[in-house]
Structure 1
Amino acid sequence: MFAKSRIAMPSADAAPKGRATPILPASAEHYLFSRPLHGPYPEGLETAVFGLGCFWGAERLFWQLGDGIWITAPGYAGGFTPNPTYDEVCTGRTGHTEVVVVVFDPKVLPYERLLQTFWEAHDPTQGFRQGNDVGTQYRSAIYTTTPEQFATAMASKRVYEAAIAAKGYGGITTEIEEAGDVFLAEEYHQQYLAKVPNGYCGLRGTGIACPMPAAGSND
């Protein structure tokens, strides 16, 4: 039953009840940046949310962007269960996908650069999987926090879909929606590949560059 549920989106009725208490302690800080993971974040920063497979390697991609990144944090989004555990998410019954929360300064690091990193780091045509990682929790997703992010994400999808189609890839399956509840993952997942540098990272891009539209373009 669980094997089947991991490759098909569940219903809200079948999801675990979850819990009222966050899984990640309120005191948790970024392992590299020594900043509170839960915030509050300084004025002028934005939050972006990306799902592109196992969140260990995905998170590292974004903290390595350097200037303009305030914090990165693995989490769960797009599902039904409040404050799910990793084990619950892995059953496929919560409806969540593994994501990276990126808090950034758009004056220093434009959202377009985050999108380019996202598209080029994984294969967004695979549906409920990334390579050998199979399940709804590995689906490609962009969850936006402003109308401008949503418009830019949709424009970037059209541009990249054309670029990869020209190389023989199928349609993009990436879920692009306004962000709902996003729950930060357990402390042992946070900045995992900084703590365990030789740990697992299954990310594999298509090798095709993403020709991003100009900032502010919806075309």
Structure 2
Amino acid sequence: MFTLRPDKSGMVRPENALPGRPEPIATASHHVVSGLPLTLDVPEGMEAVLFGMGCFWGAERLLWQVPGVWLTMVGYAGGYTPNPTYEETCTARTGHAEVVRVVHDPQAVDFAQLLRTFWESHDPTQGMRQGNDTGSQYRSAIYTTTQAQFDAAIASRDAYQSALRAAGRGAITTEIASAGVFYFAEAYHQQYLARNPRGYCGLGGTGVSCPVGSGIASGG
């Protein structure tokens, strides 16, 4: 993955964002691991949510392994440029974060458990970076598709902030918002670490356990 200079750590203003293009860029047709078609359709009874945890390669591998997750795909969200490329996103002039779109069965995996996996698997206090990956594309983010998801994400953030504070850690900088448009990343990014098992993975948590989804009340 690209390591961006510090001057690429701010959010671009909408009027300064790259223009993009009207048509989607090409991506993979099927999930390398499950064989399922990569689609934006959500089967009845399932839900989708977008997680930004830094580099999307390692984040996607982590999330496709969670029991109850039906489909994962990587792409760009939270910005302004329509149908961006990876190279454009790396300029920090699209406003997008690298995200994993997770389609899951709520009857098989509780959303609280997905949130706990999210919080514990990266450092949500780092602002516009994640480890050595620096830039707005690597920011921590949760983009929700239902009001219940949004409320649960806010409650989990507050619960985890208390745990982090008790451990002497800083403030959470995670962006939590309703999901806008999700743009597929290029084919070679989809399930990258399934095809390149020795490839780069920048995931690294804080070592602080999140009380959400563990049987401990979150207060919300």
TM range (shorter): over 0.9
Per-residue displacement from partner, 1:132-163 (whole Å, max 9, x unpaired)? 00000000000000000000000000000000
Which runs of structure 2 are paired with 1:1-219 in the superposition (5 Å)? 3=5, 5-25=7-27, 28-66=29-67, 68-212=68-212, 219=220
Per-residue displacement from partner, 1:170-219 (whole Å, max 9, x unpaired)? 11000000001111100000000000001000111001110006699762
Percent identity, aligned pairs only?
Answer: 56
CA distance in 2, matches of 1:86, 1:201: 17
Other structure's SS at 1:61 match: helix
217 and 122 in structure 1: CA distance in 2 versus 1, 3 angstrom threshold: closer
CA distance in 2, matches of 1:216, 1:208: 16
Other structure's SS at 2:116 match: helix
**Contiguous gaps of at least 5 residues in structure 2:** none
RMSD of Structure 2 on Structure 1 (CA): 1.8
TM-score norm. by structure 2 comes to: 0.93
Instruction: Indicate conservation of the 8 Å contact 1:5/1:93, yes or no.
Output: no
Q: What is the CA-CA distance between 1:24 and the residue it aligns to?
A: 3.4
162 and 136 in structure 1: CA distance in 2 versus 1, 3 angstrom threshold: same
Other structure's SS at 1:59 match: helix
CA distance in 2, matches of 1:74, 1:24: 13
Instruction: Indicate conservation of the 8 Å contact 1:151/1:218, yes or no.
Output: no
TM-score norm. by structure 1 comes to: 0.94
Other structure's SS at 1:29 match: coil
- Aligned AA for 1:166? A
- Aligned AA for 1:174? T
- Aligned AA for 1:146? T
- Aligned AA for 1:197? P
**Contiguous gaps of at least 5 residues in structure 1:** none
CA distance in 2, matches of 1:177, 1:184: 19
CA distance in 1, matches of 2:103, 2:116: 16
Other structure's SS at 1:160 match: helix
Q: What is the CA-CA distance between 1:39 and the residue it aligns to?
A: 3.9
